[in-house]
C-alpha cells in the first residue's frame, strides 16, 4: 500500500465522521447508528460502546456548531450499549446520552433503541373530554407477580380487561421515566427520555399502549418538567461547565434553580433546553402514540415559588408551556394536555391566543378539598354542604370539562394523608361509616361536571396510604366486590351506557337545592335536556335518612331511580333504604317547574334520577 493511501486512511480514522442524520441521541440508519449530543463547553467528545469494544478514543464526534457534536458509526446496532466521553480542560466525564430512549439502569449505560414496532394499523383516538373517565395507576404497584419486585407494563396489560369492564376508557400512568433505583413514584426522573428499565423499558411500554388501545383505553403519561432528578442525574454539569456550583447547561445557575426538589429546575430560557423538553413531550404522543400528557406541578414551571405572585414569575416557563401546547394543538388536536397546577387559576386552561397557557384541563383543587372535607369530617353538623355545592358548580371557563375531579390521587393518598376510607376511620377503614362516606364522595365525582378520575384500587376500598413499595391488595376485590359494582355502576352512568343519563356528559349544571339544616343537596345535569338527558342527583350528608323528602324537579312525570348508593347489593351492611321512582307534579319548587317526593334517601347516600327517553 502506498504511503499516500496509508496517510489517507490515517486521516480518515483521525477525522470524526459527520452524522448523516440530524436527530439527537442515537439514531439508526441503514448500516449503522448516528450519535449527536449537545455539549457546548466540551473541547472534545467521543462515543464508545459494544460496537467498538468500549474504546473511548476511537470514535470522536465532529463539532456541528452551536455546541452540537455528531458522528456516524457504521455497523453499530440496536441493543448495543454506549456512553459519551467528554473532555473539558482537565475534566474527563463519562455521560449517559440525554436523549437515550433506553438505559441499562439509572447509573448504567445508554442503549441504542430501535423504535420500529408493529402498531397493527392503530388508529385509536382519545375519547372526547366529556366522555373521558380516568384511572390513575402506578406501574410498579398496580399489579405484581412477585411481592419483592415491581410490577411491569406486561403485568399491567393483564388487567386491561378488568379496567375496560369497570368502565375505564383512559389510564393515567404515573411517570415511567428512568428513575434512581427500582422503586419510586416516578417524580425524580434521572433520564427523562428513557423508560424505566424495571418496568420493561420502551419495548414494554409500546406493548402496553398497543394493548390498551385494542381494549378501547387511552393512555396518558405524567411528565415532570418542574425539576429533574435530583439523584443519578447524568444531566448535572453535563459538559463540565457550571456557575455558582449549580447544574450546568441544562439548569438555571441562579435563584431560579431552586425548587422543593433541589436546585434542579431546567433552564427554560436556553433554546437547547426548551427544545429538549419540547422533544420529550412530543415523543410520547408521536413515537409511543400516547393520547395525552399530564404536566406535573406546572405552578413551579411558571413561577419560581409555585405561587401566583408575578414578582416570582419565570417568563420563559410560561412561554415553554404555551409552545408545547400550541405544537400539540397544531399537530394532534384530539390529544389532551392536563396541568397539575392546583392554584385555581383559570389562566392555565385559557387559550394561548387569549394569553393563557393553553391546557385542555387542570386538576381542580377547588373540587377535591371541600368534597374530601365533607366526607372525611367526623361531625355531621359541621359538614359544609354550601362548599360542596360550590365545588360541584365550579368551572374555569365555558367548558365544564376543563377540570379533572377526584377524591383520591397519588398526592391525596400520601404525604401525610391517606385513602378516604382510612381518613374516615384509620383503625377501621372497612367500617360502615368508611364505606358509606367514601362512596358518597365517589358519587359526587361521577355526577359533577368535569373529567372524573379515581386512583388505583379506590374501586375496591383500598386503604392506608400510597407506598411505592406496597402493591395493591387485589384480595380486596373479592372481599368488597359490591363496592366494585358500585363504582362500575357510576362509571357506566357517567358514560351513558344505559341511554338514560346523557346529561352527565353535558356542560350544564344547576345546584338548586341546598338544605343547610338537614345537610342535603340536589342538583341537575343536562346536555340538551329532556327525557333520557336531564339527570337529578340527591345527596344526603348525614347518618340520618331523609324521609318523604320533597325537592324541585325539571319536569313533571315519572323520574326513575338509576342509582341508590344505599342498596344492600353494594354491601350487606347498607340499609337498602327504599327509594321508589318519583312521580313529579307540575308545581313549582326550588325555582323549577315541578316537584316530587323521595320516600327515603339513606344515610350518606347518593340517589340518581332520570326520565326514560
Residue 9: per-residue pLDDT: 33
Residue 150: per-residue pLDDT: 96
Tell me the per-residue pLDDT of 203-228, one tens digit each, with 9 for 90 and over.
999 999 999 999 999 999 999 999 99
Tell me the per-residue pLDDT of 39-96, one tens digit each, with 9 for 90 and over.
999 999 999 999 999 999 999 999 999 999 999 999 999 999 999 999 999 999 999 9
Omega prior to 230 cis, within 30 of 0:
yes
Residue 492: per-residue pLDDT: 97
Could you give phi then psi for residue 311, rounded to 5 degrees?
-65, -25
CA atoms within a 13 Å half-sphere pointing along the CA-CB vector of 276: 26
Residue 121: per-residue pLDDT: 81
Confidence label for 146 from pLDDT (cuts 50, 70 and 90): confident
Predicted TM-score (pTM) above 0.85: yes
Residue 434: per-residue pLDDT: 98
The residue-averaged pLDDT of 429-438 equals 98
The residue-averaged pLDDT of 541-566 equals 98
The DSSP symbol for 506 reads S
Residue 122: per-residue pLDDT: 78
Q: Which residue has the cell 347498607?
A: 574
Residue 498: per-residue pLDDT: 96
Q: How far apart are CA 255 and CA 304, in angstroms?
A: 8
Please, which residues bridge with residue 46 across strands?
60, 85
Q: What's the burial of 118, exposed, middle or buried (CB within 10 Å: 0-12/13-18/19+)? A: exposed
Could you give phi then psi for residue 135, rounded to 5 degrees?
-120, 110
Q: Is the dihedral of CA 464, 469, 475, 480 positive or negative?
A: positive
Tell me the per-residue pLDDT of 334-345, one tens digit each, with 9 for 90 and over.
999 999 999 999
Q: Which three cell numbers stand for residue 254?
A: 441562579
Q: How far apart are CA 25 and CA 115, in angstroms?
A: 13
CB-CB contact of 401 with 450 (8 Å):
yes
Taking Cα atoms as reference points, which of 591, 599, 515 lies closest to residue 564?
A: 599
- What is the rounded (10 degree) CA torsion for 364, 404, 171, 498? 150
Q: What's the burial of 403, exposed, middle or buried (CB within 10 Å: 0-12/13-18/19+)? A: buried
- Domains in the chain, please, with CATH? 3-95 (2.60.40.10), 129-494 (3.20.20.80), 502-610 (2.60.40.1180)
Tell me the per-residue pLDDT of 80-127, one tens digit each, with 9 for 90 and over.
999 999 999 999 999 999 999 999 999 999 999 999 999 998 789 999
Contacts for 413-416: CB closer than 8 Å, 24+ residues apart: 413/455, 413/465, 413/466, 414/465, 414/466, 414/467
Helices (H), 332-448: 365-376, 385-393, 420-424, 432-447
CB-CB contact of 102 with 195 (8 Å):
yes
Q: How far apart are CA 79 and CA 185, in angstroms?
A: 27
Least confident of 14-28, 122-136, 444-458, 576-590: 14-28
The residue-averaged pLDDT of 463-472 equals 96
Q: How far apart are CA 455 and CA 49, in angstroms?
A: 42
CB-CB contact of 602 with 540 (8 Å):
yes
Residue 342: per-residue pLDDT: 97
Confidence label for 145 from pLDDT (cuts 50, 70 and 90): confident
Residue 5: per-residue pLDDT: 35
Omega prior to 291 cis, within 30 of 0:
no
Q: At what angle do helices 385-393 and 365-376 cross, to 10 degrees?
A: 150
Residue 12: per-residue pLDDT: 34
Residue 161: per-residue pLDDT: 98
CB-CB contact of 399 with 506 (8 Å):
no
Residue 22: per-residue pLDDT: 59
Confidence label for 11 from pLDDT (cuts 50, 70 and 90): very low
Least confident of 3-17, 200-214, 395-409, 549-563: 3-17
Residue 464 has pLDDT above 70, yes or no: yes
Tell me the per-residue pLDDT of 352-396, one tens digit each, with 9 for 90 and over.
999 999 999 999 999 999 999 999 999 999 999 999 999 999 999
CB-CB contact of 526 with 541 (8 Å):
no
Question: Taking all residues of the chain, what is their mean pLDDT, rounded to a whole number?
Answer: 95
Residue 537: per-residue pLDDT: 98
Which percentage of the chain shows pLDDT scores above 90?
A: 95
CB-CB contact of 546 with 410 (8 Å):
no
Tell me the per-residue pLDDT of 239-296, one tens digit each, with 9 for 90 and over.
999 999 999 999 999 999 999 999 999 999 999 999 999 999 999 999 999 999 999 9
Amino acid at each position: 500500500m502506498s504511503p499516500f493511501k496509508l496517510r489517507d486512511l490515517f486521516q480518515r480514522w483521525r477525522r470524526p465522521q459527520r452524522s448523516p442524520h440530524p436527530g439527537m441521541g442515537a439514531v439508526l440508519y441503514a448500516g449503522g447508528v448516528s450519535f449527536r449530543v449537545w455539549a457546548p463547553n466540551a473541547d472534545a467528545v467521543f462515543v464508545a460502546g459494544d460496537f467498538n469494544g468500549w474504546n473511548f478514543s476511537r470514535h470522536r464526534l465532529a463539532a456541528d456548531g452551536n455546541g452540537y457534536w455528531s458522528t456516524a458509526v457504521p455497523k453499530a446496532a440496536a441493543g448495543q450499549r454506549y456512553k459519551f466521553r467528554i473532555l473539558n480542560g482537565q475534566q474527563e466525564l463519562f455521560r449517559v446520552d440525554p436523549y437515550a430512549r433506553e438505559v441499562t439502569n439509572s447509573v448504567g449505560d445508554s442503549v441504542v433503541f430501535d423504535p420500529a414496532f408493529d402498531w397493527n394499523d392503530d388508529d385509536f383516538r382519545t375519547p372526547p373530554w366529556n366522555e373521558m373517565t380516568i384511572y390513575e395507576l402506578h406501574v410498579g404497584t398496580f399489579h405484581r407477580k412477585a411481592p419483592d419486585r415491581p410490577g411491569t407494563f406486561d403485568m399491567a396489560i393483564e388487567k386491561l380487561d378488568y379496567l375496560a369492564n369497570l368502565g375505564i376508557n383512559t389510564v393515567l400512568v404515573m411517570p415511567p421515566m428512568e428513575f434512581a433505583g427500582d422503586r419510586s413514584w416516578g417524580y425524580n426522573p434521572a433520564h427523562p427520555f428513557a423508560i424505566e428499565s424495571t418496568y420493561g423499558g420502551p419495548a414494554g411500554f409500546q406493548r402496553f399502549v398497543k394493548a390498551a388501545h385494542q381494549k378501547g383505553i387511552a393512555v396518558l403519561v405524567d411528565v415532570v418538567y418542574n425539576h429533574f432528578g435530583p439523584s443519578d442525574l447524568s444531566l448535572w454539569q453535563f459538559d463540565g461547565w457550571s456557575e455558582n456550583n449549580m447544574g450546568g447547561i441544562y439548569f438555571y445557575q441562579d435563584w431560579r434553580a431552586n425548587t422543593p426538589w433541589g436546585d434542579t429546575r431546567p433552564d427554560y430560557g436556553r433554546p437547547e433546553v426548551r427544545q429538549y423538553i419540547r422533544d420529550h413531550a412530543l415523543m410520547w404522543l408521536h413515537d409511543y402514540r400516547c393520547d395525552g400528557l399530564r404536566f406535573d406541578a406546572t405552578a413551579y414551571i411558571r413561577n419560581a415559588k409555585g405561587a401566583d405572585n408575578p414578582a416570582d414569575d419565570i417568563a420563559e416557563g410560561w412561554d415553554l408551556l404555551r409552545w408545547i401546547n400550541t405544537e400539540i394543538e397544531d399537530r394532534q388536536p384530539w390529544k389532551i394536555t392536563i396541568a397539575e397546577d392546583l392554584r385555581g387559576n383559570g389562566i392555565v386552561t385559557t387559550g394561548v391566543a387569549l394569553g393563557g397557557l393553553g391546557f385542555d384541563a387542570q386538576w381542580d383543587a377547588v373540587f377535591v378539598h371541600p368534597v374530601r372535607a365533607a366526607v372525611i369530617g367526623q361531625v355531621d353538623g359541621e359538614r359544609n354542604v354550601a362548599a360542596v355545592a360550590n365545588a360541584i358548580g365550579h368551572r374555569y371557563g365555558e367548558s365544564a370539562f376543563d377540570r379533572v375531579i377526584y377524591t383520591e390521587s397519588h398526592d391525596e393518598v400520601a404525604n401525610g394523608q391517606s385513602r378516604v376510607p382510612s381518613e374516615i376511620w384509620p383503625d377501621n377503614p372497612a367500617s360502615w361509616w368508611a364505606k358509606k362516606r367514601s362512596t358518597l364522595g365517589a358519587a359526587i365525582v361521577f355526577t359533577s361536571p368535569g373529567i372524573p378520575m379515581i386512583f388505583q384500587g379506590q374501586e375496591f376500598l383500598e386503604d392506608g396510604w400510597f407506598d411505592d413499595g406496597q402493591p395493591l391488595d387485589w384480595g380486596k376485590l373479592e372481599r368488597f366486590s359490591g363496592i366494585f359494582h358500585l363504582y362500575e355502576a357510576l362509571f357506566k352512568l357517567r358514560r351513558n351506557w344505559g341511554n338514560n343519563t346523557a346529561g352527565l356528559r353535558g356542560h350544564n349544571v344547576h345546584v338548586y337545592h341546598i338544605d343547610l339544616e338537614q345537610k342535603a343537596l340536589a342538583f341537575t345535569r343536562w346536555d340538551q335536556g329532556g327525557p333520557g338527558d336531564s339527570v337529578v342527583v340527591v345527596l344526603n350528608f348525614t347518618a340520618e335518612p331523609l324521609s318523604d323528602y320533597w325537592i324541585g324537579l325539571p319536569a313533571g312525570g315519572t323520574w326513575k331511580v338509576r342509582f341508590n348508593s344505599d342498596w344492600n347489593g353494594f354491601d350487606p351492611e347498607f340499609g337498602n333504604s327504599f327509594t321508589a321512582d318519583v312521580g313529579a307534579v307540575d308545581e313549582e319548587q326550588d325555582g323549577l317547574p315541578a316537584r316530587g317526593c323521595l320516600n327515603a334517601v339513606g344515610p350518606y347516600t347518593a340517589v340518581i334520577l332520570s326520565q326514560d327517553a
